[in-house]
Amino acid sequence: MVFNLQFFQVLSIIISMLAFCTAFWLYRWVEVQPSSNQRIAEISKLIRNGANTFLTKEYRTLSRFCLVAAAVILIFLPAPIWKGNIAANIIMAVSYLFGTVFSAIAGKIGISIATIANVKAAEASTKGIKQSFMSGFRGGAVMGMAVVSSSLLGVTLVLLLTNNTTALLGFSFGASSMALFAKAGGGIFTKTADISADLVGKVELGIPEDDPRNPAVIADNVGDNVGDVAGMGADLFDSNVASMAAALVMAVSLDGACKAAGQTANNAAMVFCYAAVGLLASMVGVMTARMKEGGDPTLALNTNTYVTTGLYGVLTAAATWAFGFSWRIWGASVIGLLVGVIIGLASDYFTDDKRPPVRAVAKACESGPAFTILSGISYGLMSTLPSMVGIGVSALAAYKLCYPMGGGSVEYAMFGISMAAVGMLSIVGMIISNDAYGPIVDNARGLVEMGDLGDKALEITDSLDSAGNTVKAVTKGFAIGAAGLTVIALLGAFMSEVNAAIDELNAVSAGAIMDKIAGFDVINPNVFFGLLIGAAIPALFSAMLMLGVDRNAQRMVSEIHRQFKEIPGLKEGKKGAVPEYDKCIEIATDGAIKELVPAGLMTIIATLLVGVVGGVQSIGGFITGNIVSGLLFALFMSNSGGLWDNTKKYIEAGNHGGKNSPAHKAGVVGDTVGDPFKDTAGPSINTQITVVSLVASLTATIFLTFNLFG
């Protein structure tokens, strides 16, 4: 039997369908877990309705943007429609819309299961930690399986139906643009509510985190779902699609070159095989995940990741041997996966409350919030080095390992980097499961407190929530590292698209009018111009998102003050005094919708302007500067934010004076600063870098033929 590309595409579809079946089984398992507390059911309904209302408004706004973007793509990409190839433009526009729809579905699935699993985990906490953990984890696993299976299925179908890698980039751009706005909007919503609830509740009034008297408490729980579940699902869907798209663009180009030379090649088949095996490994890892009663939830979550990692390594080695794939490419993918784990461990060191950095910042809290901020920023900056080194080493090792292929081919070496990104994201099903577990158990903790299920249940959900925060920092580090390798691969895909366009332009002229691009020289003023602008974009993007949180949170704090002042007996907790929760949800929703578009639109417009001014050389510099600066900002923000969050929780556990002590109030201030760092700007930068790279690749032909100084 010949194992050609179509065989592996069919295999990918089959494994995607199996993963969907696994997701459905897990959904039903969570759904049938017992829940009978009327108070929790009422609160959960408020959370679910708030999350669905926000998602509906957000998707309505984004659908208008996406339709306009699709119309622009139809007219101009991959080449202006008046040049005659109308079918290619239609395929590109449809692929883009296909990507946006798949990304939106990923977010909707996450919201649907998370707002069920939080209730099940909350009520299970009255019986023990094991059942509560399994409800939270399997709830997250529904999203993990659904997101990764839909990304693999989407990529496979687009390439199978169109046989066009440029259409694949259009699909990826659709996923990325939707993810960019969904992550930004969800991040602004969740941190608006979180900051407002903490500042008024904890700092001003000294009431518990999820006290039902606080008007912002339901909005805070809604935010966990729309930001950390729907937003992160769209983000990792985008990363997975982008890594596969970048690898396939180069793989198809390499396969075509080999075929022209009369040689056989299976690079594209290898991409599908490794991605399918990664999903299979994640399915096995999710279904075999367990935790003993009285066990450590952090250890259980990390063990699941390590088991899945080992399984992926073994299965891909077996596939490489069985199908005659390149062992060098296998080595590159394993390097990517191992470095992903190392980056996760580095994030864990700087954010786990059992490690020195968190405890040092907790000690600094005794001296006031200024020292909390100063020490947290310092450790956050320090945390970037191991991850940046890891990304750099993995890219260098993959490049050097694969360079001898094809007689010292730069394209093969860049393909090796793209496969390191595929390897790093190979177990993304497990990563998403761990990541979505965090907000589910965070919500469960709130439901336990608001439902008054007792101190034992609160202690269990506190333990689960702490594990969720620690593992979430690990998964964010993993996602940022994967984004780093993915966009390096996308830089290679950009070069492939530019060179293909140069071949086409040269073919229609009497002689070669342009030389192919082999790299970008920073001494070239066009490249340096793009480099500087690209490096500045993540800073501006982050500032715009955090200012959005700032403006929105100030409005919500004023609303909370109004309610405590005007609703009789609310502050004292008298019977019958009920906050107007919907007012805070409305403020968070309207503010997030208003603030989410400008930052994302700015990055796209900046990319186009740089290309028009300096051509493809400037765009190469722009992407490079954006990658380096963006990774640095993303790592710093995610790690420092996670560190401040766990510092606050460490103090709340009874250390350095415990709750309501001066150290605790300083810790809350640090967490307030860290919230938009780790949940709004930081994780959104990943997607911003991807969007920039995809826009550049899609518009490469335009920048070649139309620029001012290129």
Query: What does the alpha-carbon distance between residue 89 and residue 223 come to, in Å, rounded to a whole number?
Result: 38
Instruction: Encode pLDDT of 33-73 as tens digits.
Output: 988 888 888 888 888 888 888 888 889 988 998 999 999 99
Query: What does the alpha-carbon distance between residue 116 and residue 109 come to, in Å, rounded to a whole number?
Result: 11
- pLDDT reported for residue 537: 96
Contact between 563 and 585 under an 8 Å Cβ cutoff? The reply is no
Asked whether residue 492 carries a pLDDT value surpassing 80, the answer given is: no
Instruction: Encode pLDDT of 632-679 as tens digits.
Output: 999 999 899 989 988 998 998 899 999 889 999 999 999 989 989 988
Burial (CB count <10 Å: 0-12, 13-18, 19+), residue 355 = middle
Q: Which two tokens mark 415?
A: 């393909």
Asked whether residue 167 carries a pLDDT value surpassing 60, the answer given is: yes
Q: Which of 9-18, 70-79, 257-266, 507-516 has the largest mean confidence?
A: 9-18
Long-range contacts of 701-705 (CB under 8 A, 24+ apart): 701/78, 701/79, 701/497, 701/501, 701/504, 702/76, 702/611, 703/611, 703/612, 703/615, 703/616, 703/619, 704/498, 704/501, 704/502, 704/505, 704/514, 704/615, 704/616, 705/505
Q: Three-class SS of residue 707?
A: coil
Instruction: Encode pLDDT of 183-211 as tens digits.
Output: 888 889 988 998 898 888 877 888 877 78
pLDDT band at 154 (very low <50, low <70, confident <90, very high): very high
CA nearest neighbour of 466 among 488, 438, 486, 491: 438
Instruction: Encode pLDDT of 90-102 as tens digits.
Output: 999 999 999 999 8
Q: Which two tokens mark 522?
A: 């920073």
Asked whether residue 511 carries a pLDDT value surpassing 60, the answer given is: no
Asked whether residue 1 carries a pLDDT value surpassing 50, the answer given is: no
Mean pLDDT of 396-416: 86
- pLDDT reported for residue 538: 96
Instruction: Encode pLDDT of 517-532 as tens digits.
Output: 777 888 999 999 999 9
- pLDDT reported for residue 554: 93
Task: Describe the crossing of helices 384-402 and 369-382 by its angle, rounded to 10 degrees.
Answer: 10
Read off φ and ψ for residue 514, nearest 5 degrees.
Answer: -140, 145
CA distances in angstroms from 413 to 253, 272, 404, listed in the order given: 13, 19, 8
Global pTM reads 0.88
Alpha helices (H) along 261-383: 267-288, 297-323, 327-351, 356-365, 369-382
Query: What does the alpha-carbon distance between residue 570 and residue 404 come to, in Å, rounded to a whole number?
Result: 71
Question: Which DSSP symbol is given to 657?
Answer: G
Query: What does the alpha-carbon distance between residue 479 and residue 475 come to, in Å, rounded to a whole number?
Result: 6
Asked whether residue 3 carries a pLDDT value surpassing 70, the answer given is: no
Query: What does the alpha-carbon distance between residue 468 and residue 297 come to, in Å, rounded to a whole number?
Result: 8
For the chain, give the number of residues.
Answer: 710
Question: Could you tell me which residues come within 8 angstroms of residue 86 by beta carbon, excluding any fewer than 6 positions away?
Answer: none
Alpha-carbon torsion (272, 274, 275, 278), positive or negative: positive
Instruction: Encode pLDDT of 372-381 as tens digits.
Output: 999 999 999 9
Choice among 16-25, 57-66, 347-356, 497-506 with the minimum mean pLDDT: 497-506
pLDDT band at 358 (very low <50, low <70, confident <90, very high): very high
DSSP of 229-248, one letter per residue? IIIHHHHHHHHHHHHHHHHH
- pLDDT reported for residue 470: 72
Asked whether residue 310 carries a pLDDT value surpassing 70, the answer given is: yes
Asked whether residue 104 carries a pLDDT value surpassing 80, the answer given is: yes
Q: Which two tokens mark 409?
A: 């081919």
Instruction: Encode pLDDT of 439-451 as tens digits.
Output: 899 889 888 988 8
Mean pLDDT of 369-393: 94
Query: What does the alpha-carbon distance between residue 195 and residue 694 come to, in Å, rounded to a whole number?
Result: 34
Percent of residues, the chain, with pLDDT higher than 70: 98
Mean pLDDT score of the chain? 88
Asked whether residue 133 carries a pLDDT value surpassing 80, the answer given is: yes
Percent of residues, the chain, with pLDDT higher than 90: 41
More confident residue, 619 or 479: 619
Q: Three-class SS of residue 26?
A: helix
Q: Where are the domains of the chain?
A: 5-505+513-705
Contact between 404 and 104 under an 8 Å Cβ cutoff? The reply is no
Query: What does the alpha-carbon distance between residue 31 and residue 638 come to, in Å, rounded to a whole number?
Result: 32
For the chain, the straight-line distance linking the first and the last C-alpha, in angstroms and rounded, comes to 50
199-219 residues labelled b (16+ CB within 10 A) or e (exposed): bbbbbeeebbbbbbbbbbbbb
Question: Which DSSP symbol is given to 449?
Answer: H
More confident residue, 614 or 235: 614
Asked whether residue 588 carries a pLDDT value surpassing 70, the answer given is: yes
pLDDT band at 327 (very low <50, low <70, confident <90, very high): very high
- pLDDT reported for residue 199: 84
CA distances in angstroms from 348 to 341, 548, 646, listed in the order given: 10, 29, 11
Query: What does the alpha-carbon distance between residue 120 and residue 128 come to, in Å, rounded to a whole number?
Result: 12
More confident residue, 499 or 607: 607
